[in-house]
Amino acid sequence: MSTRFEEFYRRSIEDREGFWAEQAQLIEWHRPPQQICDYGHPPFARWFAGGLTNLCHNAVDRHLAARAGQNALIAISTETGAEKAYSYQELHAEVNRMAAVLKALGVQKGDRVQIYMPMIAEAAFAMLACARLGAIHSVVFGGFASGALASRIDDAQPKVIVSADAGSRGGRVVAYKPLLDEALQLSAHRPAAVLIVDRGLAPAPMRAGRDHDWASLRALHMDAQVPCEWVDATHPSYTLYTSGTTGRPKGVQRDTGGYTVALAASMKHIFAAQPGQTFFCTSDIGWVVGHSYIIYAPLINGMATVLYEGLPVRPDAGTWWGIVEKYRVTHMFSAPTAIRVLKKHDAAHLHRHDLSSLKALWLAGEPLDEPTAAWISDAIGKPIIDNYWQTETGWPILTLCNGVEKQDTRFGSPGKAVYGYNVKLIDDATGQELTQANQKGVLAIEGPLPPGCMQTVWRDDERFVNTYWKSIPGRLIYSTFDWGIRDEDGYYFILGRTDDVINVAGHRLGTREIEESIAAHAQIAEVAVVGVADSLKGQVALAFAVVRDAALTDDAPARQALEAEIMKLVDSRLGAVARPSRVLFVAALPKTRSGKLLRRALQAVAEGRDPGDLSTMEDPAALAQVQQQL
């Protein structure tokens, strides 16, 4: 006999139109959809076409009648000591002020606004204000360096950039304005205006005619009432850049109606969340988890959402749990790396706080190992629910849908296929579907992708098709580029990437971008970067470099100095998040006779594993030297 979830899932695949028509009723429409799913031009799916709605209306305005005085946004910084809870009424007022300021700076429907911000309330105001105006926001993680920011500015071509004087992490101030100014010198595109939130943390010299102070402009629009711009469901809501296997980042383009419906449905069916409850996601708005589960989904669902700036262990390892207690957090969402950090500290920090309000802890961003899951489960005595998804999908592909039917957790597995996702395991050589239990294949999704997933790559439909839909021979099918297996009960297990993207503490980094940064050093002739398993961060980047002057590799002080220079170079071009754990200098990189770099062999040796069949290697001595360096 099939379970309730199995029937629910089957209907989402077999009666796609009827299923998603029901989910569409979870949000408010200015005009209902004229067509549920237009898949006449695969692999491009147009969800809820003809329907008019607004993301900001669904996240803020529609709640004013019933919960104007309820907490909506709780902004907490353990870096500065600032803490403020905004009611829905107060959030509405602030978003209107930000929208009025952006409008005064020339932002209209369809314009892009780049947001380069720390985790402060004004970042949320800016995102929601863009949605209110029908503008397309493009958030860039505040830790990114000028070169990475410049490439995103050139691709998005924003009308306005919203930033701040500085962010802070672990008590260390990171000045944003100088990084932004340098990025604007490097980029070809010139925005009409830059809006700066001055927190008083670092000098922020203003350029006359271009730069504007947020506080001054806000004061001019205190009573602003900016109506929501009703946009077609297929109108882009935002772009978010994700690393690819080339050095050029991909702008994941999201729609409006499909995304709003998908997030509303996820709060009901995945998180079993109710209006009036409190959601605490510890991610950053620079990542997709922050977009979906800090800003939009909790607010769409009429909840309070916590926006947190700081570390999980500062001032002590009980900081997050104190927030759970104070604000009666019901749903918490974090990453395995953060839990591994907490695991190094005394569990007494958890036990001194009242966690009775908390229903479960969801973890995502990287594979969740069983020991970490077991430790945090014992420590807080709450369900630990893994989930797996991507920047490209915007919401979970694999997890437990406990809002549909209570399901058992299996540590090591992110769960089962989520409704709407027609998930397959595919043989990467033949393109055939693998239907038997425990067969290893590429995790793939049959089109159309469900609502909320990427529409395309920003301004590059061809790249969208070629990258995601044509990597498996003989099939037009979406590849996640992850290996996986499925057990006899339908639980999936993720085994690692099939491409050259690595996952460092939940941050996806393209090895090609790191390689290009290192190769920019005058002493480097050739470089390979691989992801290596790490007990804390999941993976770290490890670089193998061939130098132009071979004598350098025999001189230990010179080698150390060169490694330090390379680290600084990566920091300056991509940011500290992309810095490799080590740079090892070798005489040659292992390659096949046709010249292809043997990345998997490098990775295997670095992890102490058997590198497998090396019969195609041109020079076995190259790999032997790598082993010696390690």
Question: Could you report the per-residue pLDDT of 44-83, keeping only the tens digit for each?
Answer: 999 999 999 999 999 999 999 999 999 999 999 999 999 9
For residue 544, give the nearest of 558, 522, 532, 526 by alpha carbon.
Answer: 526
pLDDT at 351 > cutoff 70: yes
Tokens coding 172? 């260390």
Question: Could you report the per-residue pLDDT of 193-219, keeping only the tens digit for each?
Answer: 999 999 999 999 999 999 999 999 999
Burial 449-469 (b: 16+ CB within 10 A, else e): bbbbbbbbbbebeebbbebbb
Kindly state the helix (H) or strand (E) to which residue 134 belongs, with its residue range.
none
How confident is residue 120, by pLDDT bands cut at 50, 70 and 90? Answer: very high
DSSP tag of 607: T
For tokens 């990437």, the residue is: 497
Contact by Cβ (8 Å): 573, 148: yes
Q: Is residue 402 classed as helix, strand or coil in its secondary structure?
A: coil
For tokens 């915007």, the residue is: 394
User: Phi and psi for 125 in degrees, rounded to 5?
Assistant: -60, -45
The more confidently predicted of residues 229 and 144 is 229
Concatenating the DSSP letter of every residue in 306-322 gives EEEES-TTSS-TTHHHH
Q: Which of 101-110, 172-181, 515-524, 613-622 has the lowest mean pLDDT?
A: 613-622
Helix intervals (H) in 60-211: 64-67, 88-104, 121-133, 146-156, 176-186
Q: Indicate the angle between helix axes 176-186 and 146-156, nearest 10 degrees.
A: 60
Q: Is residue 417 classed as helix, strand or coil in its secondary structure?
A: strand
pLDDT at 522 > cutoff 50: yes
For the domain 4-310+387-446, what is the CATH superfamily, name and number?
Answer: ANL, N-terminal domain (3.40.50.12780)
pLDDT at 594 > cutoff 50: no
The more confidently predicted of residues 307 and 585 is 307
Whole-number pLDDT of residue 266: 98
Residue ranges with strand state E in 278-400: 278-281, 304-309, 331-334, 360-363, 384-386, 398-399
The more confidently predicted of residues 520 and 455 is 455
DSSP tag of 61: G
How confident is residue 611, by pLDDT bands cut at 50, 70 and 90? Answer: confident
Kindly state the helix (H) or strand (E) to which residue 162 belongs, with its residue range.
strand 160-164
Kindly list the domain boundaries of the chain, sorted by start residue.
4-310+387-446, 501-629
Question: Could you report the per-residue pLDDT of 249-288, keeping only the tens digit for each?
Answer: 789 999 999 999 999 999 999 999 999 999 999 999 999 9
- Could you count the other beta carbons within 10 Å of the beta carbon of residue 360? 18
Question: Could you report the per-residue pLDDT of 371-421, keeping only the tens digit for each?
Answer: 788 889 999 999 999 999 999 999 999 999 999 999 999 988 999 999 999
Q: Is residue 263 classed as helix, strand or coil in its secondary structure?
A: helix
Amino acid at the residue 615: S
For tokens 């959402």, the residue is: 305
How confident is residue 615, by pLDDT bands cut at 50, 70 and 90? Answer: very low
- The CATH number that domain 501-629 falls under is 3.30.300.30
Kindly state the helix (H) or strand (E) to which residue 533 belongs, with its residue range.
strand 524-534
Whole-number pLDDT of residue 225: 98
Q: What is the CA radius of gyration of the chain?
A: 24
The separation between the first and the last C-alpha atoms of the chain, rounded to the nearest angstrom, is: 54
Whole-number pLDDT of residue 614: 59
Amino acid at the residue 561: A
pLDDT at 508 > cutoff 70: no
How far apart CA 528 and CA 590 sit, in angstroms, is 10
How far apart CA 599 and CA 592 sit, in angstroms, is 11
- DSSP 3-state helix, strand, coil percentages of the chain (rounded to 5)? 35, 25, 40
CA dihedral 497, 499, 503, 509 (to 10 degrees): -170
pLDDT at 592 > cutoff 60: no
Amino acid at the residue 59: A
The more confidently predicted of residues 210 and 344 is 210
Q: What angle do CA 386, 392, 394 make, to 5 degrees?
A: 55
How far apart CA 492 and CA 473 sit, in angstroms, is 23
Non-local CB neighbours of 176 within 8 Å, separated by 6+ positions = 116, 117, 118, 142, 163, 164, 165, 166, 167, 202
Whole-number pLDDT of residue 346: 85
Question: Could you report the per-residue pLDDT of 445-486, keeping only the tens digit for each?
Answer: 999 999 999 999 999 999 999 999 999 989 999 999 988 999
How far apart CA 211 and CA 51 sit, in angstroms, is 37
Tokens coding 82? 């600032």
Contact by Cβ (8 Å): 358, 351: no
Share of residues in the chain with pLDDT > 90 (%): 71
The more confidently predicted of residues 505 and 333 is 333
Instruction: Name beta bridge partners: 46.
Output: 38
Task: Tell me the Ramachandran region of residue 481: left when phi exceeds 0, alpha when psi lies from -120 to 50, beta otherwise.
Answer: left
Average pLDDT, the chain: 91
Concatenating the DSSP letter of every residue in 537-579 gives TEEEEEEEEEESSGGGGG-HHHHHHHHHHHHHHHHHHH-GGG-
